[in-house]
Amino acid sequence: MTVTQRINQIRQQIPSHVRLVAITKQVSVEAMREAYAAGIRDFGENRLQEALLKQEQLQDLPDICWHFIGHLQANKAKKILEHFQWIHSVDDRAIAQRLNRLAAELSHPPQVLLQVKILPDPNKYGWQTPELLESLPELEQYHHLQIQGLMTILPLGLSDEQILAAFKSTRELAQKIKQKSNLPIEQLSMGMSNDYLLAIEACATIIRLGRIIFGERIS
């Protein structure tokens, strides 16, 4: 199947309001152009250098919306703010504070999501629930960021029931945050190639798909 056929097939499985972000780490700009031609406007990358190269090669497609999905290193935060409209991976207090300070100098506030660790996972970054709830008053003060919602990545090896439960817990956490703060937490970025249908069942608003569109990555 071609990239276009895969995208069309996925579109038929998901509600039209769900935002499909094509994750293009290690994907060629030719394949990205094919995805663009099939209607994709949201592209996600996890490495700054790779993304900058591609942005340069795709300059003729100015309506692309770029999403940063990787762990943010403090020294790259400024560049990431300048080159991405969305950041899905704001995973602790220090980086949130830094982004807010840097964003004060931008003309458009970045859309950000708080990456939460809904299940324990030593290999993943993200806010633990208690820490996030404690930090709400601080996050409410970050007026240069548009904190739109939560993002989660689940550990490997879960059953479908466990995956669905974890996505539902993420949604419940978002509801709790809305009750306890004035943050407009409406977006839920959850679901990747192997679990996006479960994420949609749990009311994901954004799904991030790589391999199912572009095929397996090499490494």
Binding footprint of ligand PLP on the chain (CB under 6 A): 23, 25, 46, 69, 153, 192-193, 208-212
Q: Closer to ligand PLP at the Cβ: 100 or 152?
A: 152
| 8 Å CB contact between 119 and 101 | no
Q: Closer to ligand PLP at the Cβ: 110 or 210?
A: 210
Counting every residue written for the chain, the total comes to: 219
Reference 191, options 2, 21, 11, 7; nearest CA is 21
Q: Return all residues near 207 (Cβ < 8 A) that are at least 6 apart.
A: 14, 18, 19, 20, 21, 189, 190, 191, 192, 196, 199, 200
**For residue 196, what are the CA distances in angstroms to 7, 119, 156, 169, 188?**
13, 17, 14, 16, 12
Reference 181, options 216, 218, 132, 214; nearest CA is 132
Q: Residue 72 Cβ, how far from ligand PLP at the closest point, in Å?
A: 12
d(CA 36, CA 10): 15
Exposure of 39 by Cβ count < 10 A (0-12 exposed, 13-18 middle, 19+ buried)?
Answer: exposed
Q: Residue 94 Cβ, how far from ligand PLP at the closest point, in Å?
A: 20
Region of residue 126 (phi > 0: left; psi between -120 and 50: alpha; otherwise: beta): left
Q: Residue 156 Cβ, how far from ligand PLP at the closest point, in Å?
A: 10
Cβ-closest residue to ligand PLP?
210
Q: Closer to ligand PLP at the Cβ: 181 or 193?
A: 193
Q: Residue 123 Cβ, how far from ligand PLP at the closest point, in Å?
A: 12
Q: Closer to ligand PLP at the Cβ: 77 or 87?
A: 87
Q: Residue 192 Cβ, how far from ligand PLP at the closest point, in Å?
A: 4
Q: Residue 23 Cβ, how far from ligand PLP at the closest point, in Å?
A: 4
Q: Closer to ligand PLP at the Cβ: 105 or 160?
A: 160
